[in-house]
Each structure stands twice: as structure tokens, then as C-alpha cells.
Structure 1
């Protein structure tokens, strides 16, 4: 990882889920940023364009979840990101935080809101699944998820170029710097790669969200989705929006799976305002 900007620091904490590496910046109301499931995903690689901006108002914490980045590896049968998120809050002495989650991190955040409502102040998601089959997307894996899984088997520069390319709408954001960064991160942890591949098809519990529980979410929710997302169809956020009573949906044209990257200025402004106003 490249040198962090001034005011952004890296730390490790021990939790029952193992060692967790995280990035921290700023002061104020805690905001937990949870990354997606792609190879090379970390708190920093997913949120580099956002952390400094949000840290102007909030205490921002971006962990590498177990099985990613510099955190301990974990087999799929022991992977429980909701429990890990709770352990992170406890270890850092945080009573309640705003949760911001991309893709897998969005599903973790949504599930956390159903199981620990007293520990979450805001629910903000970008491109999550809704835990149910879609009507308009493919019956099986989307094009993006197929490439994501293939990149776990081939995290080379060429493999990662395909992944970053399908995650973004505008090719300008599929930069060689980002491709190289994520390829190097993924390739440096073959244990993470193996455990993810070994767990494919055996991690359905992580993708299940009960509609009745989603409808009971009390935290104010902001659901952000790219209109051109080829990894997770935007209908999933439409479904979550229909279920969560206190929610609003931001659907962005010319945007893929990484709204926080492709539309960073709008994302930063909207997220900061949402947390401050609710």
C-alpha cells in the first residue's frame, strides 16, 4: 500500500475474529466503511477517494475484513462479518456508528441493522444484493460476479484489468494504478484467495436477508446504486428501498458498481450531509 496521506493512520487490533487491520482518520461521530468482496479489496483500496473528505466531520474507520487485505485469513465456515463488525466497535470503544457498505459490505451493514439496531445510527449502502433472486438480472451469476470469481483464480494484472473494467462504467476509472494496486494486494495473500475459492457455493448464509427483518430496520437508510452496475443489478436496491421504512434511494446514471469511486464528489457530499442531518 502506498504511503497514507497526513492524518490517515493504519492500525491493528485483536478481536475474537482474529487480527483486524484498519485505517482511521478524523474525529466526531464514528463512520465504519465496509469494503466489497472482490480480490484486492481493502478498507483503503475501496475508499481512498472518500476517507479524507469524510474525516473532516467524522471519525472514519475502514477495516480490512477477515479474509481480505492485512487482516487474518478465515475459512468460509467461520466467516461472520456481522459479528466482526460488532467486535470492531467493542474493541474501539464505540457505542454506535454509521455504517457505509459497498456490495458485500452493504449486505453486512444491512444485516447488522437487523441484528444490532442499538449499535447502528445510519445505514448507507452502495450496490448491495437484497438477499433474494432478481426479476430483471440473470438467473445465475451476473457477468461481473463471474469475472470476480475468475479473478480470485487469476489475480494477475490481466485478470484484474477485466475485473476493474467491469466494476466501473467509465473506462477512465479503470486506471493502471488501481489495477496494479489491487493485483498486488490480492497476489500477496494466496491464503485469502484460496479460502474464498474454496468457499464458493458454501456461503449462502452470507447472501440471505429476510424481508420481514429488513422491514423492521429503524435506522435512517441511504441506498446508492449505479444505473449501469453489471455486478449487482440496481433492482436489489429498489427492493431494499421498498422494504426499509425510513429510506431514500439515489440511483446514478453512468455509474457502475463503485459509486464511491466514479462519483466520489457527489458520494462524499451526499453521505456527509445524510449523516449530519439525520
Structure 2
């Protein structure tokens, strides 16, 4: 049985709800908030103009409710994306939708424009370069030098290291967060680059007809050979298997981002967020199986 939301409040009822929303009594505020939330998305429409209210309390509480509705919509959109798209999903769109679940106000087009600009600036840095290693060397000297991209070793497990917008804003992240930015830039630049789901880490790989170059984006873009990667695995006791160096799909990158987020939120005791992200992981797994 489907329960329909209550009818939208009349103008006098809206005025009364807004007045009560500013009430100092916490119990009154909770009851009014729940009444407004029960109205569903329709409530956001009549509330929206009041985000600019001259009453500071009303303004703050209206914006909190609007953010709640926006977060709910962002959650729905990302879940649908996970269920509808297969391994060839658009990684950039998926990463931005994931970021919106934590930042409902996120302007996706603004972040796409930032990536476009950095790609244009990147291309200028290797003008005249020949061999792939020279191209990558010049690019990395700029990207991890003056531009300041770096691995976040101090707060490695912070959730924001997995959200594309936060990695771009801070120019810092964990291995997969930084690799995500690197892959999106490489795609704009036409570089033959793939993400590599290295055990316990994440790498990128430049691959052309002549050679394979592995890149540790977290470590300042350090260039590695296949032998370097194999030796690392042997030293760590994991042994070597070819799938460890195989490219991973956009869907698997999103899964890994969500797995990191689930671990981070659980560690921080943020049970509601951990449960939310667990739902994304289930949707990504289910979508891949269909």
C-alpha cells in the first residue's frame, strides 16, 4: 500500500509553518520539520524562496531542509545510475553523481570546466616533447609541482579523499581519488591511460604499441615498469597474478571509491553514511550482474 504525502499547505498554513520553524522550543521545531518533510519534493518548491528570509533562524532552517531534499534526490540519482549502467559507464558522470550525494549543492558543470581548463593547461606543458616518458615527465613536473597535486598522507582515510570535487578543491586525495582526476585529465588529452586495481593501492597505466608505463599518482606521478610492480607484490608477500595489473572498468572504480567511503564512515562512527554507501555498493554489484 502506497502512502501519499499530505496535500500541500495553503498560503496561511505555509506562513504558520515558517513561524513555527523558527520556534526556540526544540520539540516544536522537530515536529514542524517532520511535517514539512512529509510533504515531499512539493514542500521544497514553496520553501525555496524563504532560503533568503530576513529572519536568520528561518533562513538557516529552511536551507537545512532544502539540503535534505537535495541530498535525497542526489541519492536517488546515483542509485539509478548504478543500476542502469554497466562496466562501460561514464566514469566522470558517475564520480560527480557520487560526490553530489555528500555535496547536494555541487555544480557538476563547474567541475567539468575546471578539468577542461587543467587539460588545456597540461597540453601546453609538454609542447615539443617526443617520447611518452618525456611527455609524462613534463606533465608530472607541472601537475605535482606548481599545481600542487599530492597524496594526502596526513588524513588518508578522510571520506573527502574519495569525492571528486573535494580532491579537485584540495588538490589532494588517496591513491584512487588522485588517479580518478588523472584519468579524467588523460581522457581529455587523448592519452592511452587506464586505471589499474593494484592490491592495496591504485595505479594508472600508459599503454601504446611500444611500451607499458605504470604511474603511481599518489607518489607524485612516479613512473614504474611492470618489473617494479611485480617486485613490489613479491616483497609484500602477495605474490604475482596477471589480473593484479589488469585495467579496471569505470564501474569497478566507482565500487572501489564506495568501498573506501564505507570503510571511512564506519571507522568514524557515521553509521547513517556508512549504510547509505553500502546501498551504493549493493546497487553497483547488482547492476553489474544484470
Q: TM-score of the superposition, structure 2-length normalised?
A: 0.25
Q: TM-score of the superposition, structure 1-length normalised?
A: 0.26
Larger proportion of helix: 2
Larger Rg: 2
Larger proportion of strand: 1
